[in-house]
Chain A
Amino acid sequence: MNYVVYVCWFTVKQAALSTFFAIPFAVLIARAIVWNHSWWPARFCLKLLGLPLITPALVGILGFITLMGGLFNIYSLAGIVAVHVIFYSPWIALLLVNAWRLIPEEHYRVANQLHFSSTQTFYFIEWPQLRKSLSEVAWICFCFSLNSFTTIVVLGGGPQKTTLSAGLYHSLFFFYDFEQMMWFVSLQLILTLSLGILTILLKTQPQEVSLKKPSLPNLKDSSQKPFVWVGLSLICLPLAVILGPSLTSLSLTLQNPLVWQALKKSLTLAVCFGSLSAVISLFFVVSGWRSLRYLASFHFLFPSTLLGVLLFLFSLKIPALPQEFFLGVMQVLLILPFCFLLLERSYRTLEATYGTTTRSLGFSPFQKFSLIQWPLLKKPFATALGLGCALSAGDFPSLAFFSSPDCPGLSSLFYQQMGRHFEKCMGTALILLLLCYFLYQLPHWILRTHDRTSVT
């Protein structure tokens, strides 16, 4: 079999397997949370479901290696799929919990009167509603796994375990095989475009979020409580296992001047590019570039490596511009859709509620922004800003493409250390993790918007 064909096959295979295993986990966790939502661990779990989004992928993988290292060969297809399941299932569960909100409470009342068993309730009442959102969510999960880069770079290796995006990166930076790289670039481009067309054909774009966010139905089923613990352990265990070793090696890490240098660099970049993306998206949202929403809703399709390669080739053509410029362009382009969608959703609600009234009052755009929009958009903006900064600080693909070896960013330094001294990299992992969480919370502190809702 041709190598390039094999790589395509492996890419699709691992994504399909990841989706196949992540979905049941997510359904079980979401169902357990919904059925016990007044129980405190379930509430806590619901709040944590968005956490994997701002956790740096490398730190998550390190936690996974520490946790599962002795159990089976994690440097294999099984390992890659397991990491994807751990990363994506909490986040899918979060989307599914929102789907559950759309089920009318009356249905449950009728089910109760008819003495439906748990399975029957699931089959007759929940499944029809769930099926609609499941196809969308599964598709997004599939696309994410297809473009997954960090996991494959760490756990893959050799010609047998490589995907298009990892193969592309390796052939550019390590094998110097430009012919192969061009093959991968064109295939990735074709794949992305065809996935985009499929998305439109299958109409699996995330549906309009209703303005009213209904509460969860009042249900109780303690037999599902174990799955809440499963969800909590999927999110917390990989982070908890690195906590102990990282605290012991922290003092050693803090003595390393390179770590401080990298921390400084990462912090600067994150604050600059994270806030830049948030401000740009606020501008787009407020100035009414609403058609961008359609484009931004395809964010899950966009392969970071393809963007990295294209920008890298550009940077070779224009050597006068510093690497940080291209790094910034790449990060902003990757983070922008997330911030944009987050702000846009709130803006739409705002517009629907107060739009007509503000227009009838005849406010100037500035008055409208400062008096009406800003006070109400402040909280989502703080979330977008925090998300932007945290994503920028924890982003590995952009640093893999644009990082000078003399002064690496924190995540690329961590990746280097991970390949060399496994024990020593734990301290750096903790710093990276804390940096991301700190950056996520910082705008909420500064803008005084006390965030009591979940991460997304």
Chain B
Amino acid sequence: MSTPSNLKYFFPRLLLQKGVILGKKCFVFQRKTLAFLDRGSFCPKDPRPRKGKPLLSQGQPFLAKDDTRWGQIRVPCQKWTQSSPFKYFSTFALLLSTSPLYGKETLTIYTHAAFMSSTYGPGTHLKEAFEKICECEVQYVVLDTIPLVINRINFEGEKTKADVILGLEDIGLDVTHVDKLVPYASHCLAFVYDSTKIPCPPKTLDELINSSYPIILQDPRSSITGLGFLVWMKKSYGDKAPQKWKTLADHVLTFTKGWTEAYALFKQGVAPIVFSYTTDGLFNELAKEMPHLKSLRFPEGHLCSNIYAAKLKTTQHSELVDQFLDFLLSKEAQHLIATHAWIYPKGDIPEAWIKAENYFPQPFWISYTSQEVKDSQRAWIQEWVEGLIQ
């Protein structure tokens, strides 16, 4: 065995920094220690003349078994911590944030994402307006869709922190945990189309179904808007609905998970028609300056729904909730709802709407009850699924 000091004497320093493996004869132990297991030579380079390209295994850290050439191993001379800028990366990764606490009475509202949207949601404006008059704090818990909200309330049961649910509709209405329902607005469903791509839009639902325009719809199993259209089809065609679905499905581009995804695809220009709301044309004209995106008006009627605020049975702040529900029906709140949520208020329609080109006054409501939808929803969806896959 040679010791490092002996080696240093015999061999140049440069060679010692790189350890060398000589087949099975010699080992690199630590930085500068070498051990010769047998008589070995210390040769920095293969003396035989090279033919062609070097073997791939030469680029690898150790020699393959049946490979006769020299392999080299690189021994680090400096620890990574001494120079690396990534010394403290674990500290960054473990940083945690904390949230401040408040002492005021808190009104907890469960709602869906669309209600809090910066472009078509009245959430933040209503919060500001109500906090001015109530000496309280309004806290929103925002979930993706209303079915998710209902699901969460059912899951949390009596332990729920929620005082109010905002945005319930006639379709998918669940009143198990609800004490009081207050309708504060209404909306109607409609197809929205791009008038630059479709100069002569279909006049009736039948014409639309028999046309060949690509349409984006929502999946009725996950989206209330989609379920709304399922009810609409069922109410319009009764037992013939499956055949109509089959005709329609030939030019349905896709069924999205929810309304948001469908509208995002429509805005990308993937399809010229999307299933949405009657007031979308108005919104596109007044807020987005895109008056060419209009809603289709069908004389036979549209599927409409009231929008409710629900007071929960388990609320600890009963008076505050009642105050909030009264506030929702006030002139100020109704104006905020109409101008920010783009749904029909229970009070007066804003003047700017009536003057607009795309104004869509409330259409004829197709009649249905929420109980009826709740009872036959499953059967209708089953029928829809089977109609589509055949």
Contacts and interface: CB of A to CB of B under 8 A. Distances in A.
Interface of A: 1, 3, 6, 69, 73, 75-76, 156-161, 170, 174-177, 211-215, 218, 261, 264, 267-268, 271-272, 349-350, 352-354, 357, 361, 371-372, 375-376, 379, 405, 419-422, 442, 445-448, 452-453
A264 B386 CA distance: 45
Contacts of A6: 389
Nearest to A416: B144
Nearest to B217: A158
A375 B31 CA distance: 11
A173 to B, nearest CB: 9
Contacts of B144: 405
A372 B61 CA distance: 12
Given A3-B385, A6-B389, A271-B90, A212 B268 contact: no
B62 A422 contact: no
Contact of A157 (B66, B92, B257): B257
B352 interface: no
B132 interface: no
A357 B24 contact: yes
A292 to B, nearest CB: 23
Given A75-B253, A174-B257, A419-B257, A158 B62 contact: no
Most chain A CB within a 10 A radius of its CB, from B94, B254, B386: B254
Contacts of B256: 157, 419
B64 A376 contact: no
B67 A3 contact: no
Interface in B233-270: 249, 252-258, 260-261, 264-265, 267-268, 270
Given A161-B254, A446-B80, A371 B30 contact: yes
Contact of A1 (B65, B257, B261, B390): B390
B61 A376 contact: yes
B319 to A, nearest CB: 28
Contacts of B86: 442, 445-446
B133 interface: no
Nearest to A75: B254
B61 A211 contact: no
A352 B254 contact: no
A405 B143 contact: yes
B260 A419 contact: yes
A396 to B, nearest CB: 15
Nearest to B221: A175
A333 to B, nearest CB: 22
Most chain B CB within a 10 A radius of its CB, from A159, A218, A452: A159
B55 interface: yes
B261 A158 contact: no
A350 B293 CA distance: 67
Interface string B265-308: 10110100000000000000000000000000000000000000
Given A159-B255, A352-B65, 6 more contacts: A3-B385, A75-B265, A159-B389, A357-B27, A419-B258, A420-B264
B214 interface: yes
Contacts of A379: 61
A1 B80 contact: no
A191 B274 CA distance: 37
Most chain B CB within a 10 A radius of its CB, from A75, A376, A447: A75
Contacts of A272: 93
Contact of A353 (B37, B64, B254, B265): B64
B185 to A, nearest CB: 23
B253 A73 contact: yes
Contact of B93 (A158, A218, A267, A354): A267
Interface in B371-386: 384-386
B265 to A, nearest CB: 8
B151 interface: yes
A216 B144 CA distance: 54
Interface string B1-40: 0000000000000000000000010011110000001000
Contact of A421 (B29, B62, B264): B264
Contact of B62 (A353, A405, A420): A353
B150 to A, nearest CB: 10
B219 A158 contact: yes
A211 B64 contact: yes
Nearest 9 CB-CB pairs, A to B? A158-B255, A174-B222, A75-B254, A419-B261, A175-B221, A157-B254, A212-B64, A6-B389, A159-B385
Nearest to A360: B37
A3 B84 contact: no
B52 interface: yes
B192 to A, nearest CB: 17
Most chain A CB within a 10 A radius of its CB, from B37, B55, B67, B219: B219
Contacts of A361: 37
B93 A215 contact: no
Contact of B66 (A212, A218, A261, A447): A212
Interface string B33-61: 00001000000000000001101110111
24 contacts: A1-B386, A1-B389, A1-B390, A75-B265, A75-B270, A158-B255, A159-B255, A160-B388, A174-B219, A174-B222, A174-B257, A175-B222, A176-B147, A176-B151, A212-B64, A215-B53, A215-B56, A218-B52, A271-B93, A353-B64, A357-B24, A445-B86, A446-B84, A447-B80
A376 B62 contact: yes
Given A1-B390, A379-B61, A212 B84 contact: no
Most chain A CB within a 10 A radius of its CB, from B95, B147, B268: B268
B84 A445 contact: yes
